[in-house]
Amino acid sequence: MQKKSFPTPIAQILGKTAQKRGWSYKLRQHQIWTSWDSLVGPAMAKHAQPAKWWKKTLLVRVSSSTWLQELSYMKKSLLAKIQAALPKVNIEDIRFEIGKVSLPQQKSTTPSIKKNLTVDMENFIFEAADEIDDDELREIVARVMQRDFQNKQDK
């Protein structure tokens, strides 16, 4: 009797590819951008935003020399706060530069309509993402798959 072959779940392919190519680390680094506002607070986020990575150093762009000086004084505590909140992000230093700071994106005041997925879709996502060892990557892939299914429901 011949064994049925099923397509390899995309989550498994993405997980293995991300690990092989070192994307898992880049995805973890990206958490700085997604959590910045909650890490530093809304007042500081209006005047300071992460700009880029250089090795294990985060470059933060600030809106003025006043903010540059203020954040320089807070550098150690800010670094410790980031390291505590995001331990898998290997950050060793923060540098500040004056430049254009993009305002944090405002959350929409209109409620988003979330389409319900079928039980089969949810099970498929769970089983496919469960193949990925890295917790953060597993969550990202599951969200991507969920959005993909929701977008396909629109068509």
Token representation of residue 140 = 């990202």
Question: Quick check: 134 pLDDT over 60?
Answer: yes
Task: For residue 94, report the phi and psi dihedrals to the nearest 5 degrees.
Answer: -130, 135
Question: Quick check: 107 pLDDT over 50?
Answer: no
Predicted pLDDT at 114:
53
Token representation of residue 59 = 């470059």
Q: Any bridge partners for residue 72, and if so which?
A: none
Predicted pLDDT at 24:
67
- Domains in the chain (CATH in brackets) are 10-20+114-154 (no CATH), 32-98 (3.30.300)
Q: Where residue 94 falls among pLDDT bands split at 50, 70, 90?
A: very high
Global confidence as pTM: 0.57
Predicted pLDDT at 20:
78
Cα end-to-end span (Å), the chain: 39
Predicted pLDDT at 108:
42
Given CA atoms 107, 108, 113, 115 in this order, what sign does their dihedral have? negative
Question: Quick check: 124 pLDDT over 50?
Answer: yes
Average the pLDDT over 35-45 and give the result: 88
Q: In whole angstroms, what is the distance from residue 37 CA to residue 46 CA?
A: 9
Residue carrying the six token digits 């992000």: 89
Predicted pLDDT at 105:
53
37-41, 45-49, 77-81, 95-99 — which is least confidently predicted? 37-41
Question: Are 64 and 44 spatial neighbours (Cβ–Cβ below 8 Å)?
Answer: no
